[in-house]
Structure 1
């Protein structure tokens, strides 16, 4: 698993918009023809899918059906997913090294290779107009976002180089503080938000037409970005702290309100650890149990060989549900309106922690049905699936065009 757990939460079916009670299990969801049609005929933007890092670790041909993972062409077609952002993820362990920049270029190469193998199925997308025209052609667009700004290496020339190669958003930090920003996961707050270079980078990203992604950054860094940016920002794959108290990686209500004032979009992460506190507690419990063995028996204890599998047998993982994911969407809409929420599943990035009803990219019709069941109109569903994000991207493009 690339990151520690992510999650989404659930509840269920009612025609009343808020305060839903009931309880249908999402695994039993009946997807209507209307929902399937809406998924097929609407551009679906997913803000974050970790295909490049997945195929770099273990190559598979995602232009065809694959036996594992969460994404491949047949499943994307089945689910109606046609504009997934390919995450160019660089581990924090490579920060401040040439290998960081090198890996980013290698992962971009892998996305280009997918398109080269199947130009009748995929196309690189570098603009909103690319996404729309490729949708009209029946192609799946592959826009790219960089997860972890480490490959910039403090050099604005790298920003330009990655923009030229197709990167259209940068997640400023990942699991550790880097030369740009503090991380929500890192207790060391070396910058108390953004670094001096990070503050310069915000302006440079605005000017070049690069979306700023505040997923993963510390709270202080988020507020500083909001103060400095001249364009709306995104959270490409974050959920809500309301449902995961104490988990800084998710956004709290005040941050969401500031995001709304900025005109930005939060794209809801599907990983169970991002969706419910139960999933977060389970992972903490597993970590503590492993640590107890290490302290008592050492790092070479035979009890660590199949530790996670054995732990899961005794302590089943509390998967979140589609309904709980919908709770996150509902809460954003209640706080700041329908125009500021989207989808950032983190497929291929959260391991075996995906919710019931949203196990891979073929399940987007389930999400659409869940939204319809909660009283969202077709117009609202389209905003959530892509229009909100495409509006932000268009505004970022327009600002850069004026600077040029």
Structure 2
């Protein structure tokens, strides 16, 4: 029997439901006050496993100068910068952020993509080794469930850019052994696997022959295929080829960002759903709001002109005061409600079983929407969904059940191959 959920703040509703010896009924979250609904959202966030498809902490550590030979970034405590650390994750109810093993496209030209991937994997594992009471590695949904019961944050890993495979198909199995559970086939440039959404060269017209081998090998060993970052042609080639559902680990809906191929259009979302896949919504400003970049450019231009007119630099105290005030008065950021709009749109096109969360925290800079600035703020999004009529079961699907379903299907196919 499904466990009945009644938020603590709704005790009056509970008493009302129990009056006259009636059986308690599920709370209608749309009738709650905003304050009560947020408290209900916080409770749901903490009692439900929450998976985020893409958090760029490993590369944040690398950029910050932390290496395997030096003291690692202490995300076991609250940090001044970035979007992720243990305390904030616990506040927001985040249980399993996929650690992005991000490989910049330049490594496709310079070489060393596999070496970088290995170092970021080791750095991620070092987090779990250094703070085993707080973090644990996770190679499966079962691992995440066990870690959740133990109160630990799981660190599953996905490799962002298949360039780490280099030109050796054996590296697919190699990375599976290392704990990689999804591979984003491309990143900012076309690679040996296929074409990127950001690269207008269209070098291959979709997947390459080697890319087809990679997809099949990922199916065989049990690595989820991630179609975020690929061109439309590459996406359709993958969908024709794969034997199992795929994910988009951190993409949003092109409906709200016309012409932005990095997001998925309605036909792609519909096909992804038909093939039982999941799109995990990216929170970045330019991913959810088609006008975000234009608004940001206008504010930036004004500040540059003001600095020139007043013969000041950004580092001057007077300039910093002005910039802070001007930015606050001309807030360019979208709102958490727009992230919910993207979720609504996927549900309308493909159904509730085909959407998840893929924030891109630590990967999209300061473009994050109001109400979703870091990992402590997921309840704000859940509250917005409850306000729109989503049930607790719907929220559970978005938070983890949908991606778990895909992940288990990939595991099962690999076991039977």
From 24, 27, 45, give the equivalent of 1:39: 45
* 1:55 aligned partner: 61
- Larger RCO (alpha carbons 8 Å, 6+ apart): 1
Deviations 1:235-265 (A, max 9, x none): 0000000001110000000000010111000
Structure 1 unmatched runs, 5+: 1-13, 17-23, 294-301
TM-score where L is the length of structure 2: 0.83
CA drift of 1:32 comes to: 3.2
State the match for 2:336 in structure 1: 322
2:38–2:380 Cα contact (<8 Å) kept: no
Residues in 2 aligned to 1:270 and 1:80: alpha-carbon distance in whole angstroms: 17
Write the distance in 2 (CA, Å) between the matches of 1:29 and 1:278. Answer: 30
Equivalent pair of 1:239/1:250 in contact (CA under 8 Å): yes
Pairs within 5 Å for 1:216-235: 216-235=229-248
TM-score normalized by the length of structure 1: 0.86
After superposition, the C-alpha distances for 1:351-397 in whole angstroms (9 at most, x for unaligned) are 00000000100001111111111100000010001100000000000
Count of aligned residue pairs for this structure pair: 371
Matches within 5 A, 1:304-383: 316=330, 318-383=332-397
Correspondence 1:134 to 2:147:
yes
The alignment yields a C-alpha RMSD, in angstroms, of 2.6
CA distance in 2, matches of 1:196, 1:349: 31
2:252 corresponds in structure 1 to: 239
Q: What is the SS of the residue equivalent to 1:75? A: helix
Structure 1 residue ranges (4+ consecutive) displaced by more than 4 angstroms after TM superposition: 28-31, 283-287, 302-306, 309-317
Candidates 198, 219, 227, aligned match of 2:211: 198
**Aligned pair 1:66/2:72, yes or no?**
no
For 1:29 and 1:197, locate their aligned partners in 2 and report how far apart those are by CA, in whole Å. Answer: 53
- Measure how far apart 1:214 and its partner are: 0.4
* Counterpart contact for 2:165–2:171, Cα < 8 Å: yes
| 3-state DSSP of counterpart to 1:32 | helix
* Contact in 2 for aligned 1:63/1:117 (Cα 8 Å): no
Radius of gyration: which is bigger?
2
Alpha carbons of structure 1 residues 283 and 100: separation in structure 2 relative to 1, 3 Å:
farther
CA distance 1:112–1:282, change in 2 (3 Å)? same
Q: Look up the match of 2:221.
A: 208
The answer to whether the Cα contact below 8 Å between 2:257 and 2:288 also exists between their aligned partners in 1 is: yes
Deviations 1:326-353 (A, max 9, x none): 0000010011110000000000000000
Where structure 2 has 5 or more consecutive residues not aligned to the other structure, the ranges are 1-28, 67-72, 306-310
SS of the residue 1:95 aligns to: helix
